[in-house]
Amino acid sequence: MTSVIKVPPLVTVFGGSGFLGRHVVRALAKRGYRVRAAVRNPNLALHLLPLGNVGQIQPIQANLRMRWSVDRAVQGADCVINLVGILHESGRQSFNAVQEFGARAVAEAARAAGARLIHVSAIGADASSHVPYARTKAQGEKAVFDTVGDAVVFRPSIVFGPEDSFFNRFAGMARLSPVLPLIGGGGTKFQPVYVGDVAEAIARAVDGTVEGGRVYELGGPEVRSFRELMEEMLAVVGRKRLLVSVPWWVAKIQGRILGLLPNPLLTADQVELLKRDNVVSEEARKEGRTLEGLGITPQTMEAILPTYLWQYRPAGQFTKTTLA
């Protein structure tokens, strides 16, 4: 008698080697899925292999600007996840090419393969915005729903965790500079969400327990101003720094100058985005389109930040802080 071996479903993850991507890949591997990590340079994605069993995770070359590579990466997949996004433009990696054209290319490839689609956008996506980042995020969402009507779209607030580009960046600045800037006075509200919680929400969508055709807004349990986030970070790293308010017009000039660098700390578009609060909407809360609505209890910053920001303390992990 011939035995039939059931092969686990295959999930293609675009942007699988990035900050959020590696956590998504880990969550999927733990559930037993086969994972195909579609990245621009597979040689830089080898760190993903130990996250699963031998042969369970496979890096593959793909570029959202090259449609044929997207089609190849999706071939045979049961589910497709698009995590790709950029904070600033660089060369041919423009907002339109990555966040609009790229989103449409992934959606069309998923539809052709008969695969389910999960797309990660961002809180602040706005089709009427004059800021290219926010506008193309919204246009990407529209392209996704126009192509795959039952797709699941997640909009996270600022995502934090090991290797994040927010708390790590400002903690690094605090180690070198006696002053930290508060753009616009630091009153903008944020709702930072732990990367592991976002990955869990995406994994549940792959499981099929998240209703499709909807946009989910993911935020943590705490809403804090930019100033409060800096104070929280400084308390964790055990450093005292002067927080100086920077007027919007000054910040915009700085953004235009710094935006000329290859990997800018700040751009003029980011200054504009900081003028709006980055929190979960009341409408999403009422309709259950949040982490809590998905049955996920979000982690607090107080519990997570000390686990990776200790490296910025004066004596590293041996520094005595008031948090203990």
Structure confidence at residue 72 as a pLDDT band (50, 70, 90) = very high
* Res 276 pLDDT > 50: yes
Mean pLDDT of the chain, nearest integer: 92
If you average pLDDT over residues 238-252, what whole number do you get? 91
| pLDDT value of residue 93 | 84
Lowest mean pLDDT, pick from 69-73, 103-107, 110-114, 258-262: 258-262
Note the pLDDT of residue 3.
63
pLDDT at 91 (0 to 100): 80
Going by C-beta distance under 8 Å and a sequence separation of 6 or more, which residues neighbour residue 5?
A: none
The pLDDT of residue 324: 46
Instruction: State how far the Cα of 128 lies from the Cα of 75, in Å rounded to an integer.
Output: 35
107 pLDDT more than 70: yes
Distance CA 26, CA 172 (A): 27
% of the chain with per-residue pLDDT over 70? 97
State yes or no: pLDDT of 20 exceeds 90.
yes
Report the predicted TM-score, pTM, of the whole model to 2 decimal places: 0.93
CATH of domain 10-149: 3.40.50.720
pLDDT at 229 over 70: yes
**pLDDT band at residue 316 under the 50/70/90 scheme:** confident
Domain spans, the chain: 10-149
Taking the CA of residue 205 as centre, how many other CA atoms within 13 Å lie in the half-sphere pointing to its CB?
33
* Higher pLDDT among residues 264 and 209, named by residue: 209
Q: For residue 315, what pLDDT band results from cuts at 50, 70 and 90?
A: confident
Residue 1 has pLDDT above 80, yes or no: no
C-beta separation of 82 from 15 below 8 A: yes
Say whether pLDDT at 17 is over 60.
Answer: yes
For residues 287-313, one letter each, b for 16 or more C-beta atoms within 10 angstroms of the residue's C-beta and e for the rest, the string is: eebbbebbebebbebeebbbebbbebb
